[in-house]
């Protein structure tokens, strides 16, 4: 289980909740003592990825779809 201080939890509560998955728990501490437990009870409403968000991130060789030399005899 992950832990954060109460100061961090107050400053970043929205982000902490958004990153939780069902079954994950986050322990909030004060003076190194656990004081609260944060857990997600419902599934996320939105898929974390957006269509097209990886556009331009995947690089392929220029000859990606060219026939391989190892299989040249099978292509004849």
**How confident is the prediction along the chain (76 residues), in pLDDT tens digits per residue?**
789 999 999 999 999 988 888 888 999 999 999 999 999 888 776 666 778 888 888 888 888 888 888 888 887 7
Tell me whether residue 28 is in a domain. Answer: yes
Measured between alpha carbons, how far is residue 16 from residues 6, 9, 27, 61, 69 in Å? 12, 7, 11, 39, 51
Domain at 32, CATH number: 3.40.1620.10
Longest dimension (CA), the chain: 74
Tell me whether residue 3 is in a domain. Answer: yes
62 burial class (0-12, 13-18, 19+ CB within 10 angstroms)? exposed
Tell me whether residue 55 is in a domain. Answer: no
Tell me whether residue 74 is in a domain. Answer: no
Give the per-residue pLDDT at 46: 67
Question: Which range marks the domain in which residue 36 is found?
Answer: 1-42
Tell me whether residue 70 is in a domain. Answer: no
Of 11, 16, 9, nearest in space to 30 by CA:
9
Which residues, in sequence order, are bridge partners of residue 37? 27
Q: How many domains does the chain have?
A: 1
């Amino acid at each position: 289980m992950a832990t954060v201080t109460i100061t961090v939890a107050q400053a970043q509560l929205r982000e902490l909740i958004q990153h939780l998955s069902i079954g994950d728990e986050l322990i909030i501490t004060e003076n190194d003592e656990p004081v609260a437990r944060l857990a997600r009870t419902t599934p996320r409403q939105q898929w974390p990825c957006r269509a097209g968000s990886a556009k331009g991130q995947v690089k392929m060789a220029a000859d990606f779809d060219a026939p391989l030399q190892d299989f040249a005899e099978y292509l004849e």
